[in-house]
Amino acid sequence: MQTRDKLYINGQWVTPSGRNTIPVINASTEEVMATIPEGDETDADAAVAAARAAFDGWSATPPSDRAGFLRKIHEGLKARSEELAQTITGEVGMPLKLSAQIQVGSPIANFGYYAKMVTEFEWEEVTGNSRVVREPVGVVACITPWNYPLHQIAAKVAAAMAAGCTVVLKPSEVAPLNAFILAEVIDAAGVPPGVFNLVSGVGPVIGEALVAHRDVDMVSFTGSTRAGKRISEVASATIKRVALELGGKSASVILDDADLPTAVKGTVTACFLNSGQTCSAHTRMLVPESRYEEAAKIAVEVAKNFTIGDPFGGTAKLGPLISDAQRERVRSYIQKGIDEGAELLCGGPDAPADLPKGYYVQPTIFGRVKPDSTIAQEEIFGPVLSIITYRDEDEAVRIANGTLYGLAGGVWAGSDERAQKLAKRLRTGQVDINGGSFNLFAPFGGYKQSGRGREMGPYGMEEFLEYKSLQFKPNAASLTSKAPY
């Protein structure tokens, strides 16, 4: 068992002010795999002070130099990729092979991408008699979730550091060990003290302290819509910038001319990834009424291939959920679906008989789900798919748009052109066209109560930048002089 007893503040591993510890539970064994410090408000204040003191120097560092540090972090993470995959599989429960590709491969790629992009970015432009410059927003508090822990950390930290911001990271206390490894990599890369700080603890203490802090200029948060609302309320007292990536209830709309087996398989896969613990999971499958029976049969057959088991074993496609609390939450939603009259096609609330240990839930599919039912409206965050029928495209669009969320979705049709036409009617941040794959460099974020702001690619870095206009007399030489970078 690991024991992490220090926080990373101002370039040093320091003893926390808070004396309590938090256990980190292995999702597949239910055993304690590590302990971490439970920081308090004093620790949060020290981290913010370090970030504030480091900001002037880091923000003035040429982008090429910032790129050099990001490349070192990229290489450092790559060197520890196997350790990271093992760690995240233990924390989260995603099967090891997938963890290596997604949970580790994506954040490594992100640091490498921002190392390249920061040197190509247009930091200044001229419009009329003004020079418009982009400058870092300041000290950023990054508060990250447990489902894709290092991926979400990298999406925020790499972009913020590239922009010239300094960072205080509060990782999820449920899956924090990967963040400590990142801190070790950043320290080994020689990043100046105070540019990156790590404070572990619980949201109501560390999170609240960071969001309310007058020296924090921006909060970037990924998590539940409920927590996002609270962050917005607390941050409003200091009028700080807030970027939120929140929940989802994404619809996969299958049109009547789609390749049905391919579309259903793609939808089930998009729903069950990471045992359904994905904010952008396609948890509602909309099919024409005339094709329901066929679609339901295919979905059940596809679900049979999603074997549950030990995420370290090499054969399971679905690992456990993150915690006992999450397992009970998902089971209660499954029971709610049964109670409200949905047709249970496979799975159910009972624990898998051959897995007495671990937070496992059966992959579950409901048919003939009413669009306004609980399981069709609320984010379950588990391997649960709802099949909903529609009569025409207009009704499909109404159903797809008929939730509080607008994070992701998919459209399947006989041609990309037809799919794209319908996709433009969906009030959601990203839509997969005929199984289009996730793009690390395209903007990621949502409409409505799925949040505000975007991550990934240049769009993600722009969230951490301010605009400043410098007005000159017309024809001033300064307008044509070369930019400092």
Residue 365 dihedral angles phi and psi, to the nearest 5°: -130, 130
Annotated active-site residue in 279, 346, 379, 463: 279
Q: Are the C-beta atoms of residues 250 and 282 closer than 8 Å to each other?
A: yes
Q: Are the C-beta atoms of residues 205 and 41 closer than 8 Å to each other?
A: yes
Measured CA to CA, the distance from residue 202 to residue 106 in angstroms comes to: 26
Measured CA to CA, the distance from residue 479 to residue 301 in angstroms comes to: 65
Measured CA to CA, the distance from residue 441 to residue 114 in angstroms comes to: 10
Smallest CA-to-CA distance from 422 within 388, 393, 383 is with 393
Q: Who's near 52: CB < 8 A, 6+ residues apart?
A: 139, 166, 194, 215
What tokens were used for 390? 């529609």
Secondary element (H or E) of residue 389: strand 384-390
Question: 304: exposed, middle or buried (C-beta count within 10 Å: 0-12, 13-18, 19+)?
Answer: exposed
Measured CA to CA, the distance from residue 130 to residue 5 in angstroms comes to: 51
What tokens were used for 412? 């399947």
Our measurement of the distance from residue 458's CA atom to the centroid of its chain's CA atoms, rounded to an integer in Å, reads: 17
Question: 392: exposed, middle or buried (C-beta count within 10 Å: 0-12, 13-18, 19+)?
Answer: exposed
346 is catalytic: no
245 is catalytic: yes
Annotated active-site residue in 38, 91, 173, 245: 245
Residue in the block written with tokens 């020296």: 215
Smallest CA-to-CA distance from 12 within 260, 258, 187, 267 is with 187
CA-atom Rg of the chain in angstroms: 23
Secondary element (H or E) of residue 245: strand 241-245
Helix, coil or strand: residue 18? coil
Active site residues: 245, 279
